[in-house]
């Protein structure tokens, strides 16, 4: 599977795994290793930019 096409099954599996790990962390009373909210927003921006730039280039500059 290439990086551009992610199946809905993979997304649901990743989400479900994260949810299960979050529940376990809560039950064991461990702090989350995830960055704070602003860090997560930054990661979303980085991911979006990484996907958006090649898309825009392919739309405006056909090879």
Cα 10 from Cα 17, distance rounded (Å): 10
Span 35-47, average pLDDT:
85
Tell me, what's the pLDDT at 1?
47
Q: Distance from CA of residue 62 to its chain's centroid?
A: 28
Tokens of 26: 């809560």
Give the residue with greater pLDDT, 1 vs 26.
Answer: 26
Is 15:7 a contact under the CB 8 Å cutoff? no
pTM score of the predicted model: 0.53
Q: Which DSSP symbol is given to 62? A: -
């Amino acid at each position: 599977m290439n990086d551009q096409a992610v199946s809905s099954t993979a997304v649901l599996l990743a989400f479900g795994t994260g949810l299960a790990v979050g529940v376990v962390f809560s039950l064991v009373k461990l702090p989350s290793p995830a960055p704070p909210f602003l860090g997560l927003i930054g990661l979303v921006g980085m991911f979006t930019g990484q996907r958006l730039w090649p898309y825009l280039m392919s739309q405006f500059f056909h090879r």
